[in-house]
């Protein structure tokens, strides 16, 4: 039996810009907070309860979920608004991919 991995058969998939930025931040206290913020936003992106996230900003998705009575987390909205000029915070996890 060879020492090949199943992933050797597949081409490398690009890493999202968000993942690279979090990894490059290192392990300082500030980067820990940034990682925590991205974990919160990724969890929001992956929660299907709030509807699809493709083609709209996170804030638009949050507002749509609120409008439909789905009670999205208020801290997610606060986090997005606090970083409203940063695409890493305003755009969904899948924004860098052509789907």
pLDDT digit string, tens, across residues 11-43: 665 555 555 555 554 444 557 889 999 999 999
Domain ranges of the chain: 16-90
Transcribe 29-87 into DSSP letters: HHHHHHHHHHHHHHHHHH-GGG---TTS-HHHHHHHHHHTT----HHHHHHHHHTTT-H
Give pTM, 2 decimals: 0.69
- Indicate whether 55 pLDDT > 80: yes
């Amino acid at each position: 039996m060879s020492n090949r991995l199943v992933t050797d058969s597949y081409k490398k998939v690009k890493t999202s810009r968000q993942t690279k930025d979090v990894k490059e931040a290192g392990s300082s206290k500030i980067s820990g907070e940034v990682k925590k913020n991205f974990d919160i936003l990724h969890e929001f992106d992956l929660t299907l309860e709030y509807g699809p996230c493709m083609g709209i900003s996170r804030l638009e998705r949050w507002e749509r979920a609120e409008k439909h009575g789905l009670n999205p987390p208020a801290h997610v909205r606060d986090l997005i608004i606090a970083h409203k000029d940063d695409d890493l915070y305003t755009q969904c996890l899948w924004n860098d991919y052509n789907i």
